[in-house]
Structure 1
């Protein structure tokens, strides 16, 4: 159960954060949400798939880390084996909160998160109770995540408006003969994208939607690399 609190230098003067990667620190997940403003970085390492919330009839985008629940093929003995970690993972255990009175953004922290420590780890505030470079960098990432989240609604609405998403399933046969079946996701419908007229493409470009669409398409090339990671895990037991 989470326990959110507003971060402040008086209450959290001695707070430290575990920044390595492990199952114990909450990294053992097969996917995480990603924002359109980070698709360029994400596509270089992970497939980007879309999932439909049937209650809200709205989509979210996810970076795929594995093929089974709780499987993250990028975890490697305390390291995250990729140059880019999606924003939703990189900012943990911090998050953006907003005051009830208005839209002012505040840095919150989940004090129940396993990354939180008062012993080992990277300091959040220095001896003068000033933000450390780690906190300053994390605050920048939180800002990028918040900006991406606020802009994402229009992006997903455009995908739905032009029916640019299609259901996606994948059956992967692994080196040991076993099979993994991936279901419940959507991908960009390349045929429908190709069929869009010039005016629609111009509109998507003007609204900064066209680049993330192409990045999501390009990311599907990473599925083969993810299968290779799975086979390497099987080969090494």
Structure 2
């Protein structure tokens, strides 16, 4: 039985959402999907890696928060220690109804099984006393729209990466201060050598299509892996 239901004022006039952060609220995750439109904001905080979704036979980009399932090194109690929160995390427990490949108007759904669904007077209201969307809900709807638009636009981005074979597999083994080993396998990164070898016409094409900036942002984000290692070492030292 699905717990994703259409959001309406009639059915959800008393709905409240927990907006704090925490493991119990579903934030203990290793990564989250980001769309190319987000890369510029996300790369200042997180490594951006690519992974193939074999069910859909396509790549997604992921903002990395840790090295193993359930590990979020940015989560400190009820605080997310970063200046930018990926849209796919920020919009929860809301989601977009309909197929991402469908250009028809989208609907706003809410996951009623989410731990973010609050009780009593806790949390942010979705609708006011007059059944109008609150500023909080309006902001969530805007973010849902941005995520949907970014996802649909990303198809051309990944087609360009595939056309010029610009993704290469990443296999990374990192030794922590205590001697333990962490691995990142099954991911891809931008192949910098192949990017540099592209001729001016292709670079111009990528730039004109708006693909060059997210490519550079994904490349720049790789430096954040070192910062993620530092977070892991601090977490292991202090428990």
TM-score > 0.5 by shorter chain: yes
Runs of 4+ in structure 1 displaced over 2 angstroms?
53-57
Compute the displacement of 1:116 (Å): 1.0
Aligned pair 1:231/2:207, yes or no? Answer: no
Aligned to 1:7: 7
The equivalent of 1:104 in structure 2 is: 105
Report what 1:140 is aligned to.
142
Q: Distance in 2 between matches of 1:155 and 1:91?
A: 23
Q: Which structure 2 residue ranges, 5 or more long, are not aligned?
A: none
Query: For residues 205 and 29 of structure 1, what CA distance do their matches in structure 2 show?
Result: 33
Q: Which residue of 1 aligns with 2:89?
A: 89
Aligned length: 236
Q: 1:176–1:218: structure 2 CA closer, same or farther, 3 Å change rule? A: same
Matched, 1:210 2:204: no
Asked whether the equivalents of residues 2 and 111 of structure 1 are also in contact (C-alpha less than 8 Å), the reply is no
- Larger CA deviation: 142-151 vs 53-62: 53-62
**Cα distance in 1, alignment partners of residues 216 and 177 from structure 2:** 31
Mapped to 1, the partners of 2:58 and 2:148 lie a distance apart of 18
Equivalent in the alignment of 2:115 = 114
Paired position in structure 2 for 1:47: 47
1:102/1:156 Cα in 2 relative to 1: closer, same or farther (>3 Å)?
closer
1:154 is matched with 156
RMSD over aligned CA atoms reads 1.5
C-alpha deviation, 1:102, in angstroms: 7.2
1:2/1:46 CA distance change after superposition, 3 Å: farther
TM superposition shift of 1:56: 4.0
Q: Is the 8 A contact 1:43 1:215 kept in 2?
A: yes
TM-score, scaled to structure 1: 0.96
2:183 to 165, 181, 184: 181
TM-score, with structure 2 as normaliser: 0.95
Q: Between 48-57 and 12-21, report the one with greater CA deviation.
A: 48-57
Instruction: Report the 3-state secondary structure (helix = DSSP H, G, I; strand = E; otherwise coil) of the residue aligned with 1:128.
Output: coil
